Amino acid sequence: MNRTNVSLRAIFVATVASSLFALSLGCSSGSTSGNGAIAPAPISLPENPRSVETPAQMSSTTSANNTRDLANAQPESVLDSKPSRDVDLNGGEAQSGQPLNYQTLGDTLTKIGLTPEDDKDCWVMKVKTTTDDQISWTFPIAVSLSPDQSVVWITCPITQIDKNGAPNSQTLADLLSANYHLGVSFFVIDPKHILILQQTTANAGVTPQLLGSNLKSFFGSLKQSEPLYKSLIPISGGGQGGGGGGGGGNPFQ
């Protein structure tokens, strides 16, 4: 008889415990649904010595039909210039395998025919072009070294997307898809929500000819992908397709 009472008591306690557990789950579920979905924790990754470190510090982004920016920019034809010789990297003749430091990186850009501005951590030049849709763009292009100086980064901040309205999922999908077609250039969004086009080069044997060729290729990627990002950028003077308007199609389809 006592053994039976003990068994019944154990069953009763287990039943009550199960009921309380189920009730607590129900309350938690109801509370969650009432307050909306739980926001995911922000992604935190360790610092990479080969990563780019300067685009987020740049004050300017790409502009369209902006008279002041266009007046201070160089025409894209400057990227077609041919340097006559390599930059002196070591107080004597240029050495083909010598990596660039910050100063010789600026010297190399000058030798190409560009007029870069020293922004402390990167060399910045503004280059302008008019695309087929008759929008005159000014692109602030930064060239910098990674923290460990093993990589030369070419970057162009395009727009801060959270200030101009978040792009729809199709726009983001098209930008990601463009990375497949652009090859060494690729779109990213930095921690400040700035849409950026980037390109990397190993910092070994970087001559003016090589850097100039990479800059020209990078600029070509900016122009080719213009229909994908132009709807995110306010266009001065009522230009076509900007200010959140139509994207003008996907050039990679």
pLDDT in tens, 175-191: 999 999 998 999 998 88
Closest Cα partner for 108 from 56, 165, 152? 152
User: For position 204, what pLDDT does the model report?
Assistant: 92
CATH code, residues 55-232 = 3.30.1460.10
Distance CA 78, CA 42 (A): 42
- pTM > 0.75: yes or no: no
Classify 130 as helix, strand or coil. Answer: strand
The tens digit of pLDDT for each residue in 68-78 reads 999 999 999 99
Instruction: Specify the long-range contacts of residues 169-176, CB closer than 8 Å, at least 24 apart.
Output: 171/228, 171/231, 171/232, 171/247, 174/228, 174/247, 174/250, 174/252, 175/225, 175/228, 175/229
* Average pLDDT for the chain: 77
The tens digit of pLDDT for each residue in 138-154 reads 999 999 999 889 999 99
Out of 10-14, 122-126, 153-157, 234-238, which region has the weakest mean confidence (pLDDT)? 10-14
Distance CA 139, CA 5 (A): 83
Distance CA 18, CA 70 (A): 71
Which residue in the block uniquely carries the two structure tokens 């999908």?
Answer: 173
User: Which sign, positive or negative, has the C-alpha torsion 101, 104, 108, 114?
Assistant: positive
Backbone angles phi, psi at 156, to 5 degrees: -140, 110
Distance CA 198, CA 55 (A): 10
CA distances to 173, 207, 226, 243 from 248, rounded to whole Å, are 15, 37, 9, 13
CA distances to 69, 139, 143 from 79, rounded to whole Å, are 18, 13, 14
The band of 208, judged by pLDDT with boundaries at 50, 70 and 90, is very high
Residue 36 has pLDDT above 70, yes or no: no
